[in-house]
A and B are shown apart, each in its own frame.
Chain A
Amino acid sequence: MRAIRMARSPIVEVGENMKKFGGHLSAILPASQVDPDEAGFSTTSCANIIPTIRNLRCHQPRRPALRNGLVFSNGDYWLQQRRLIQPGIHTKRLQGLYGIIIRTIEDALTSFPTGGTSTFIRDVRLSFDLALRSLIDIPLSADTMTRLSQVFIDVQSFSSTISAALLRLFYPINGRRKRSSESQQR
């Protein structure tokens, strides 16, 4: 029933979960048995998704598909994994990362078209530039950037096609086709 509700109206379902878990942005995975009090949700922060999922993980030991990484582990093993990334990720570096993001957007704005032109391709390219420069902030040749962005666009297009086909399978369950035809009639 929860999966059907999630398919029908994900925002409402997530909102109800957030109320249940004291404001945490949370995801109740299928077949989970989680007691919010036992899981230790005491604060009311929406930004605490990783500890939330981690706490959910500790109640679901039989989930090999999720692996045992930083997000889905707990206890001593989680602490060890957290310490592994500790020296690399701290406030100063994150502020520098914001600087990279702002610089990338400012660069894109200098050549942004005015008027009623479609900006879809530019938006996709900007998304790619943001992802790439956040990961590797080094100047690459225009040719390399174009080749890499084409790979990114192809992968994005492929995943959109696959997800659209999969979503169509759920139309009889979530009623989207019915709602879509009703809105077209209006």
Chain B
Amino acid sequence: MKAMIRDIIRQRQADPAEYDDLLNMLLCARYEDSG
């Protein structure tokens, strides 16, 4: 299961397409001063 999830994350990070799922939201989450 862990390997499958890691593989999905790797695929997503390499994929330039736009997604609206929660995984994409998590991967886009980062700190920025402007909030």
Contact = CB atoms under 8 A, between A and B. Distances in A.
Do the two chains belong together in a single complex? Answer: yes
Interface of A: 79-80, 82-89, 92-93, 95-97, 99-100, 133-138, 144, 151
Nearest to A81: B31
B25 interface: yes
A113 to B, nearest CB: 29
Interface residues of B, number: 21
15 contacts: A83-B35, A87-B28, A87-B30, A88-B25, A88-B29, A88-B30, A92-B20, A96-B19, A97-B21, A99-B20, A100-B21, A135-B22, A135-B23, A137-B19, A138-B19
B31 A80 contact: yes
List the 9 closest pairs (A to B, CB-CB), nearest first. A96-B20, A88-B28, A88-B25, A137-B21, A88-B29, A85-B29, A135-B22, A83-B35, A89-B25
Interface of B: 1, 4, 8, 11-12, 19-33, 35
B15 to A, nearest CB: 9
Contacts of B12: 136, 138
B11 A138 contact: yes
B8 to A, nearest CB: 6
B32 A86 contact: yes
B19 to A, nearest CB: 6
Contacts of A96: 19-20
Given A100-B20, A137-B21, A87 B32 contact: yes
B21 A87 contact: no
A79 B4 CA distance: 33
A130 to B, nearest CB: 12
B29 to A, nearest CB: 4
